[in-house]
Structure 1
Amino acid sequence: MVLPSLLDLRCRGLWIWGVRTVWQTEGDGEFFCPRCGGDRNYSRRTGTRRLTVFNIPVLHRGSAGTVVECGVCQERFALDALDQPTSSRFAAMLRDAVHTVALAVLTAGGATSRHARQAALEAVRAAGFTDCTEDQLIGLLAALAADEGRLPGSDEPLPGAVDGCGTWLSIELHEALGPLTPHLAPQGRERILLQGARIALADGPYRPAEREALAAVGRALLLPDEDTARLLEAAARTPS
């Protein structure tokens, strides 16, 4: 009896040895799948390459890394796929950003104006806080005024204030806009700035503190200073 050669076995599709990746699931969650184009469940999996003999793993041949595997399309992605927020998370980030910008602009100068408060309320509702009322907005402004130590609508700068909108709101502005900005197209960043500008202009020309607050919004959105100035001037020239 003549045993077939290794070459004969390979030609017949009978592989003696090979390398196979064995995947182990380490966690799961929800992510935005680039291939599906929507929110999907994922598995975080780590692969190990193993030498196989007759398809049986026998020797460790190194790591294949860690990937994110979509539960629907089964496509595998690098871990940075998890950096993209889910659709629901993105909507929440955008809603919080508009809300914080509206509070910053009102606190900087227009809190006592019914027109400015109404413009802020419309922006906040359009962003997702559909149940927000004017009383709730006034309550937040009063709480901020008490915390920051000045009356809403005053042009007097706060002790220790940053960017014309108060220490607490300055921190909130960067925390709300910082994580969101990398995921926004330039038009989206400009739109958030212009929403703030419309609130500031609802009761008349920009006050100095409002301009300073809006400039801070532009910086948090990573807009060049000249672009921020151009957009603010264009908004001021646009009939309401």
Structure 2
Amino acid sequence: MGPSRDRRARKACGVRTRWHTVDDGEFFCPDCGGDRNYRRRTGRRRLVVLGLPVLPRGAEDPVVECTACRGHFAPGALDHPTTAGLAAMLSEAVHTVALVVLAAGGAEARSVRETAVEVVHAAGFPECTEDQLTAHVGALGSGREVLAELELHDKLAPLASQLAVAGRESLLLGGARIALADGPYTGREREVLAAAGRLLELGAEDVDRLLAQARTPS
């Protein structure tokens, strides 16, 4: 049997997988390095003889298939946010840090409110105003510090594994800038900024360094 005949025989007989698309959407493709469309697929293997399926050979593990590069990835690939999703998470985190610092007692000073607005605008909320920030802090009521820290946990904890160190440090520095707008840190401001640092998985020494760095004029 010649080489070409061997190849035809291999094509005629073997195990083939029949894929079925369960759902689709957009995800961050590790191979493409950007946002792409995906298909989440399940599959069943069959022994094929002369082009005809004859015997089942069990199920394939579910995969996420990139429609651009056709790469197959474990379903956990969908846990990574898209580029747009990560940008939205970061903007919301900056907004929340600003609220927490304001809730720690700085909302009365106009310089603090103005700095908070600048930081939030730079993070992607250009429509945010001083009145909106103070109203949000006021809406938290008498337990505003506790509620603000709960919101801080919800917004920062998921970001810790997604951002590089520089990104996490920048987030904390934004909060420090707001706290310093009316003078040195108060005890409460230090507490909430330290809590933010822990949620961002920054060490205590790094937090101290960043809080000192924020005091140094650029």
Q: What TM-score bracket applies, with the shorter chain setting the length? A: over 0.9
Aligned to 1:148: 143
Aligned to 1:102: 98
1:1-240 equivalent positions in 2, closer than 5 A? 10-11=5-6, 13-15=8-10, 16-144=12-140, 146-148=141-143, 166-236=145-215, 238-239=216-217
Runs of 4+ in 1 over 3 A off after TM superposition: 7-10
1:77-105 Cα deviation digits (max 9, x unpaired): 12121111011111110011000000101
> 2:133 & 2:176 partners in 1: Cα distance?
18
> 2:213 & 2:67 partners in 1: Cα distance?
47
SS of the counterpart of 2:81? Answer: coil
TM-score, normalized by length of structure 2? 0.93
CA RMSD of aligned residues (A): 1.8
Query: Once the 2 structures are TM-superposed, how far is the Cα of residue 147 of structure 1 from its aligned partner?
Result: 4.0
SS of the counterpart of 1:178? Answer: helix
> 1:122 & 1:78 partners in 2: Cα distance?
41
Counting aligned pairs with the same residue, the percent is 57
Q: Unpaired segments of 5 or more residues in structure 1? A: 150-165
Q: Unpaired segments of 5 or more residues in structure 2? A: none
Q: Is the 8 A contact 1:119 1:199 kept in 2?
A: yes
Q: Is the 8 A contact 1:110 1:200 kept in 2?
A: yes
TM-score, normalized by length of structure 1? 0.85
> 2:125 & 2:72 partners in 1: Cα distance?
36
SS of the counterpart of 2:111? Answer: helix
Paired residue type of 1:97? A
Paired residue type of 1:89? G
Query: Once the 2 structures are TM-superposed, how far is the Cα of residue 20 of structure 1 from its aligned partner?
Result: 0.8
SS of the counterpart of 1:205? Answer: coil
Larger radius of gyration: 1
1:173-225 Cα deviation digits (max 9, x unpaired): 11000111110001111110111001001111001100001001001111111
Query: Once the 2 structures are TM-superposed, how far is the Cα of residue 8 of structure 1 from its aligned partner?
Result: 8.4
SS of the counterpart of 2:70? Answer: coil
Query: Once the 2 structures are TM-superposed, how far is the Cα of residue 63 of structure 1 from its aligned partner?
Result: 2.0
Give the 3 Å change call, closer, same or farther, for CA 14–199 of structure 1 in structure 2.
Answer: same
